């Protein structure tokens, strides 16, 4: 499925020095986000920093949201993940898109201006109306969880 996403460029380096986010391959699920930094940023082990993406987005449709996810290579090999686990962007948010980076490794990691440090995926959302009930119709799983079904 494709849809339009309203984007405002907040950093003039997009369109000159940096390409706007795009899908790397036809089947890519996410757009890479760049670090719109003015100088390199060294993230010490265990440190969290808020990095501007240089963009703002307006999802607008309450049936969609955006999520900021770590990039696999950075997260797995360098230990650069997100300070908030996953960034959830509400459909009505119009402010600057910010990336919380967390260096979970034992080594300092330096982010250069323009580096692609995270990725943005647009996902469907269902807003629910709470239906208060006294009990649930029994399911096969019931209350079993947290390893209930075993390992093998």
- Per the annotation, where are the binding residues for substrate? 71-73, 84, 88-90
What is the tally of helices (H) and strands (E) in the chain? Answer: 1, 10
CB 105 within 8 A of CB 47: no
Q: Is 145 helix (H, G, I), strand (E, B) or coil?
A: coil
Cα(91)–Cα(126) distance, integer angstroms? 12
- Binding range to ligand DUT, per CB under 6 A, among 29-37, 41-49, 83-91, 142-150: 83-91
Number of residues that bind ligand DUT (CB under 6 A): 10
CB 78 within 8 A of CB 105: yes
Q: Which residues are annotated as a binding site?
A: 71-73, 84, 88-90
Mark 100-129 with x for binding to ligand DUT (rule: CB under 6 A) and - for no binding: x-----------------------------
Q: Which residues bind ligand DUT (CB under 6 A)?
A: 68, 84, 87-90, 93, 97-98, 100
């Amino acid at each position: 499925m494709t849809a339009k996403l309203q984007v405002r460029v907040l950093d003039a380096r997009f369109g000159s020095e940096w390409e706007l986010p795009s899908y790397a391959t036809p089947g890519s699920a996410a757009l890479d986000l760049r670090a719109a930094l003015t100088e390199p940023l060294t993230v010490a082990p265990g440190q969290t920093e808020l990095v501007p993406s240089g963009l703002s987005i307006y999802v607008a449709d309450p049936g969609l949201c955006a999520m900021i996810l770590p990039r696999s290579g950075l997260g797995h090999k360098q230990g650069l993940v997100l300070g908030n686990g996953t960034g959830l962007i509400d459909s009505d948010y119009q402010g600057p898109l910010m990336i919380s980076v967390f260096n979970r490794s034992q080594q300092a990691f330096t982010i250069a201006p323009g580096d692609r440090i995270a990725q943005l995926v647009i996902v469907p959302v269902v807003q629910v109306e709470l239906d208060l009930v006294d009990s649930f119709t029994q399911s096969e799983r019931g209350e079993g969880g947290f390893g209930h079904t075993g390992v093998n």
